Amino acid sequence: MRAMKAYLETTIFNFFFAQDRGFAHESTVELFKEIAAGKLKI
């Protein structure tokens, strides 16, 4: 199965570092874990 391609808006990177943003931060961290695992291609 091929990895899905994702296009990221530049503000998504801010959520990675903004730990006080709750769900947005958690979701962004999970997104980057999936990218690192090869599930998504950017």
Q: Which residue has the higher pLDDT, 2 or 10?
A: 10
Residue 41's pLDDT is what? 86
pLDDT at 20 over 80: yes
The number of helices, as runs of H, and strands, as runs of E, in the chain is 2, 2
Residue 37's pLDDT is what? 93
Give the DSSP letter of residue 39.
Answer: S
Sign of the dihedral defined by the CA atoms of residues 26, 29, 34, 40, in that order: positive
Residue 3's pLDDT is what? 79
Q: How far apart are CA 4 and CA 20, in angstroms?
A: 29
Domain count, the chain: 1
- Across the range 12-36, mean pLDDT stands at 93
User: Across the strands, what pairs with 4?
Assistant: 40
| Residue range(s) defining the domain that contains residue 11 | 4-41
pLDDT at 11 over 80: yes
Radius of gyration of the chain (CA): 11
